[in-house]
């Protein structure tokens, strides 16, 4: 409701001279800001030089102070350089506030206008004007020249609506290129008022920044929405971090955008706390690449790792896809039981020794297969990680050998008996045969080795008895025989890592690195030299757990994936964004249970996003038909704009490829940005060939790869084929139909049963 109201703000036509004047006013302010920034940069550089000189002083106190200075100045410099381009984007003009208190950013904190701020004849004076930007800048007297978008004082820029305007009279979005202001767009929050600033009536220019942003052509990377965040989105971004923030919303409601802005906001709010790292889990590497630039544009990168769900385990990367049937087996809870059995069973693969022979106190001692199996069973009792049980198994073996030797009965004196036992143990354990036996009988298992062992159908059949049926065992074993890992294998590897545990190693004494002393410099270097991707990778390698975990497209996580992600946030706070109607997982209830287990009993705070910013009404209307089939009764988000261009329906002639190619080429002529061609997963490779030579504005995608992405125009190829591909096919089709910002073409094949107009059966009323 609030968002809707925001669209309907009053706009008054203005003369060009007024527009020019307003642009000039903003230009003057921007010039002031840049002058101040240059001063700050010189200050930071001076501090760096000064600190470097102080290094020569040599006392420990001076060194520590130098390091602190270098660090602060370096971070500051880094941010200034980073934000230098296009960072001032907004302004609000405010009535006098209810109280006269200033916040830490130098702006007045009151949200509501003071009594009498509006005179009985509906005239008022603007008491305060705030400029909003990507970082805060104070002038020499500590008055705010620019307020950081995440500061409390900036919240009214996003929250104010004509229904609930608070102190805001006019909200302005400023667009600049380099140091030049290009345009301004205003929304009037109190159209009933005649407000004056410095004695002159407020001018209102443009037809709203949101529409301008939405109409822009799309590229292969996502842009930030910092200048046009809407009120319902702002509530999510600034929601307190405690426990679990749960956000649902249909396609295009800004869930991904909100998740990224929330990460930047949380870091601003409590940098110390989130120094523990924020993990953003994304469904595909394509979406990671698409969103990667957003956080740096918001001034944040170092503390945030954006990882695809198939890249969460170091040293493994998902490169192949599973069929829906195999994915269903690998992702379900049942897999947990199979893995537990496999991890224990893998101890006795073919080459496991069946007899132990040693010599102790000059006597030959033997343990036979059956005794060894009994010892293994005892050692494995309970749920402790398998690799950590080796010392216990070793101890049980020695006990059995001791028993066999009969030496225990030779002494009644406990002290002597203990001494004898200890030299017995030493005698055996120093034997190479014993060490070799232990290595082969209780090998150190790796997750990859266990997973590979599961590719043997007979063996897997044993481990999965009464958990999977023989057909499932066959399918799973075959899938595991392929080269390459799938996204579901990654969750299995992670689970196996937890089941096996890291093998016990003697602790290595940490050597003191003289460079460790230079904390300031050490932390500074990575900030300057690493790319976002390298930094995220380093973060992921260094960290096992994070302070905050954000899960995007959460509806798609399987139970096994929830377990994997859960292990990375055992002590974290969470933000979870998703849309059940877009879920490609066939058993949502099981996944919901796994999600609840991962999140534990932490309290949830729920939000809903209701406005579709991506699709024009014409496309959203068509997609709603599939939603009604996929999830009867659920509501589509409301589209904010309409283009007047209805979706187009084409029917494939002799060859599907030729029709698709022709339709893609047609769309390339009609839009400036990107065109996405979405096909059933099994046609991905083929579709790439269809589009050969059409240039890099057009891409072919399997239906599951289209998650979260968007294009100016899309071609959706054979809805029936996409829908029939998996039990969740209709929901996957819904995703495919909601990717376009401007135009959509649906190509039908025979199985789509198109009518005379080419409309496929699934998309008819």
- Alpha carbons within 13 angstroms on the beta-carbon side of residue 173 total 18
Q: Rule CB under 6 A: is residue 134 a binding residue for ligand ATP?
A: no
- Which residue's CB is nearer to ligand ATP, number 501 or number 580? 580
- Which residue's CB is nearer to ligand ATP, number 230 or number 745? 230
Q: Closest distance between ligand ATP and the C-beta of residue 226, in Å? A: 9
Query: Pick from 447, 708, 719, 760: which binds ligand ATP (CB under 6 A)?
Result: 708
CB 739 within 8 A of CB 714: yes
Residue by residue, DSSP assigns 265-303 as HHHHH-HHHHTT-EEEEES-HHHHHHHTTHHHHTT--TT
Q: Which stretch binds ligand ATP (CB under 6 A): 142-150, 244-252, 468-476, 481-489?
A: 244-252
The Cα–Cα gap between 93 and 188 comes to 10
Residues 6+ apart with CB under 8 A from 40: 76, 80, 137
Alpha carbon of residue 561 to chain centroid: 14
- Which residue's CB is nearer to ligand ATP, number 193 or number 227? 227
The Cα–Cα gap between 400 and 368 comes to 11
Q: Closest distance between ligand ATP and the C-beta of residue 334, in Å? A: 29
Query: Pick from 257, 468, 624, 737: which binds ligand ATP (CB under 6 A)?
Result: 257
The Cα–Cα gap between 469 and 161 comes to 58
CB 88 within 8 A of CB 146: yes
Q: Rule CB under 6 A: is residue 613 a binding residue for ligand ATP?
A: yes
CB 449 within 8 A of CB 346: yes
The Cα–Cα gap between 471 and 73 comes to 64
Q: Rule CB under 6 A: is residue 743 a binding residue for ligand ATP?
A: no
Residue 317 CB: number of other CB atoms within 10 A? 14
Q: Which stretch binds ligand ATP (CB under 6 A): 159-167, 229-237, 463-471, 642-650?
A: 229-237
Which phi and psi (to 5°) does residue 286 adopt? -60, -40
Q: Closest distance between ligand ATP and the C-beta of residue 223, in Å? A: 6
Where do the DSSP E strands lie in 154-293?
Answer: 168-177, 180-188, 194-197, 200-201, 244-249, 278-282
Residues from 266 through 325 that contact ligand ATP (CB under 6 A): none
| Residue whose C-alpha is closest to residue 564's, from 501, 480, 503, 496 | 496
Residue 671's H or E segment, with its range, is none
Dihedral sign from CA coordinates of 720, 556, 637, 620: negative
- Which residue's CB is nearer to ligand ATP, number 630 or number 650? 630
Q: Closest distance between ligand ATP and the C-beta of residue 579, in Å? A: 5
Q: Binding residues for ligand ATP, how many (CB under 6 A)?
A: 24
Query: Pick from 118, 174, 210, 677: which binds ligand ATP (CB under 6 A)?
Result: 210
Q: Which stretch binds ligand ATP (CB under 6 A): 146-154, 180-188, 255-263, 503-511?
A: 255-263
- Which residue's CB is nearer to ligand ATP, number 219 or number 519? 219
- Which residue's CB is nearer to ligand ATP, number 615 or number 748? 615
Q: Rule CB under 6 A: is residue 256 a binding residue for ligand ATP?
A: yes
Residue 179 CB: number of other CB atoms within 10 A? 13
Q: What is the DSSP letter of 58?
A: -
Query: Pick from 718, 738, 743, 745: which binds ligand ATP (CB under 6 A)?
Result: 738
Angular region, 34: left φ>0, alpha ψ -120 to 50, beta rest: alpha
Q: What is the DSSP letter of 102?
A: B
CB 210 within 8 A of CB 183: no
Q: Rule CB under 6 A: is residue 254 a binding residue for ligand ATP?
A: yes
The tokens for 16 are 């060009």
Query: Pick from 5, 212, 214, 617: which binds ligand ATP (CB under 6 A)?
Result: 214
Query: Pick from 124, 126, 135, 225: which binds ligand ATP (CB under 6 A)?
Result: 225
The Cα–Cα gap between 500 and 485 comes to 19
| Residue whose C-alpha is closest to residue 278's, from 287, 269, 267, 268 | 267
Residue 5's H or E segment, with its range, is helix 2-7
Taking residues 72 to 91 in sequence order and writing x for each that binds ligand ATP by CB under 6 A, - otherwise, the string is: --------------------
Query: Pick from 252, 277, 310, 331: which binds ligand ATP (CB under 6 A)?
Result: 252
DSSP, collapsed to helix, strand or coil, labels residue 441 as: helix
Q: Rule CB under 6 A: is residue 147 a binding residue for ligand ATP?
A: no
Q: Closest distance between ligand ATP and the C-beta of residue 565, in Å? A: 18
Q: Rule CB under 6 A: is residue 251 a binding residue for ligand ATP?
A: yes
Q: Rule CB under 6 A: is residue 9 a binding residue for ligand ATP?
A: no
Q: Which stretch binds ligand ATP (CB under 6 A): 64-72, 220-228, 376-384, 525-533?
A: 220-228
Q: Which stretch binds ligand ATP (CB under 6 A): 227-235, 372-380, 397-405, 680-688?
A: 227-235
Exposed/middle/buried for 409, CB within 10 Å: 0-12, 13-18, 19+?
exposed
CB 245 within 8 A of CB 551: no
Q: Rule CB under 6 A: is residue 586 a binding residue for ligand ATP?
A: no
Residues from 541 through 580 that contact ligand ATP (CB under 6 A): 579
- Which residue's CB is nearer to ligand ATP, number 3 or number 664? 3
Q: Closest distance between ligand ATP and the C-beta of residue 559, in Å? A: 22
- Which residue's CB is nearer to ligand ATP, number 33 or number 626? 626
- Which residue's CB is nearer to ligand ATP, number 251 or number 719? 251
Q: Closest distance between ligand ATP and the C-beta of residue 292, in Å? A: 14
Q: Closest distance between ligand ATP and the C-beta of residue 71, in Å? A: 35
- Which residue's CB is nearer to ligand ATP, number 107 or number 210? 210
- The residue ranges that bind ligand ATP (CB under 6 A) are 210, 213-214, 223, 225, 228-230, 233, 249, 251-257, 579, 582, 613-614, 708, 710, 738
């Amino acid at each position: 409701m609030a968002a809707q109201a925001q669209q309907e703000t009053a706009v008054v036509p203005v003369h060009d001279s007024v527009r020019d004047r307003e642009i000039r006013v903003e230009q003057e302010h921007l010039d002031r800001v840049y002058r101040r920034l240059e001063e700050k940069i010189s200050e930071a550089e001076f501090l760096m030089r000064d600190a470097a000189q102080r290094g020569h002083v040599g006392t420990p106190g001076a060194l520590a102070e130098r390091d602190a200075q270098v660090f602060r100045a370096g971070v500051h410099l880094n941010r200034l350089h980073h934000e230098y381009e296009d960072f001032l984007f907004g302004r609000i003009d405010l009535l006098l506030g209810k109280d006269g208190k200033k916040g830490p950013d130098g702006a007045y904190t009151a949200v509501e206008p003071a009594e009498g701020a509006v005179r009985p004849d509906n005239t008022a004076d603007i008491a305060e004007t705030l400029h909003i930007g990507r970082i805060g800048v104070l002038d020499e007297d500590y008055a705010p020249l620019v307020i950081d978008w995440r500061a409390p004082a900036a919240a009214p820029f996003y929250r104010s609506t004509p229904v609930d305007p608070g102190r805001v009279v006019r909200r302005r979005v400023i667009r600049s290129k380099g140091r030049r202001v290009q345009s301004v767009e205003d929304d009037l929050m109190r159209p009933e008022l005649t407000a004056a600033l410095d004695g002159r009536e407020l001018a209102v220019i443009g037809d709203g920044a949101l529409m301008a942003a939405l109409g822009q052509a799309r590229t292969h990377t996502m842009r930030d929405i910092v200048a046009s965040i809407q009120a319902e989105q702002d509530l999510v971004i600034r929601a307190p971090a405690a426990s679990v923030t749960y956000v649902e919303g249909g396609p295009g409601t800004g869930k991904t955008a909100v998740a990224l802005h929330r990460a930047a906001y949380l870091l601003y709010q409590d940098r110390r706390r989130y120094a523990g790292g924020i993990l953003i889990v994304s469904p595909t590497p394509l979406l990671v690449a698409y969103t990667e630039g957003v956080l740096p544009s918001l001034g944040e990168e170092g503390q945030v790792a954006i990882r695809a769900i198939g890249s969460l385990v170091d040293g493994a990367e998902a490169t192949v896809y599973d069929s829906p049937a195999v994915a269903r087996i690998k992702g379900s809870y049942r897999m947990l039981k199979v893995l537990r059995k496999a991890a224990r069973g893998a101890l006795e693969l073919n080459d496991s020794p069946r007899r132990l022979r040693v010599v102790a106190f000059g006597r030959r001692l033997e343990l036979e297969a059956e005794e060894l199996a009994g010892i293994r069973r005892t050692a494995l009792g309970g749920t402790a990680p398998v690799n950590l049980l080796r010392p216990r198994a070793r101890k049980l073996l020695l006990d059995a050998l001791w028993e066999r030797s009969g030496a225990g009965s030779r002494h009644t004196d406990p002290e002597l008996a203990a001494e004898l036992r200890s030299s017995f143990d030493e005698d055996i354990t120093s034997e190479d045969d014993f060490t070799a036996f232990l290595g082969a009988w209780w090998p150190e298992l790796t997750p990859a080795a266990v997973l590979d062992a599961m590719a043997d159908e007979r063996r897997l059949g044993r481990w999965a008895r009464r958990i999977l049926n023989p057909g499932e065992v066959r399918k799973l074993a075959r899938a595991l025989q392929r080269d390459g890992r799938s996204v579901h294998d990654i969750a299995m590897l992670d689970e196996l890592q937890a089941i096996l545990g890291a093998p016990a190693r003697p602790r290595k004494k940490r050597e003191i690195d003289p460079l460790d002393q230079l904390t300031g410099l050490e932390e500074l270097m990575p900030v300057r030299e690493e790319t976002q991707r390298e930094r995220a990778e380093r973060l992921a390698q260094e960290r096992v757990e994070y302070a905050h975990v954000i899960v995007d497209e959460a509806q798609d996580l399987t139970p096994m994936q929830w377990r994997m992600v859960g292990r990375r946030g055992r002590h974290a706070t969470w933000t979870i964004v998703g849309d059940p109607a877009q879920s490609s997982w066939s058993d949502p209830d099981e996944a919901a249970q796994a999600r609840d287990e991962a999140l534990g009993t932490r309290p949830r705070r729920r939000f809903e996003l209701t406005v579709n910013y991506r699709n024009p009404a014409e496309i959203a209307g068509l997609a709603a038909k599939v939603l009604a089939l996929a999830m009867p009764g659920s509501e589509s988000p409301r589209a904010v704009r309409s283009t007047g261009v209805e979706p187009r329906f084409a029917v494939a002639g002799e060859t599907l490829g030729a029709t698709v190619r022709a339709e893609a080429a047609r769309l390339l002529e009609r839009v400036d940005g990107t065109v996405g061609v979405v096909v059933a997963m099994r046609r991905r490779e083929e579709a790439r060939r269809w589009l050969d030579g059409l240039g890099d504005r057009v891409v072919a995608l399997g239906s599951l790869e289209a998650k979260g992405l968007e294009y100016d125009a899309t071609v959706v190829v054979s809805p029936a084929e996409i829908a029939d591909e998996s039990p969740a096919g209709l929901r996957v089709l819904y995703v495919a139909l909601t990717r376009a910002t401007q135009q959509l073409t649906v190509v039908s094949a025979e199985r789509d049963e198109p009518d005379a107009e080419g409309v496929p059966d699934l998309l008819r009323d």
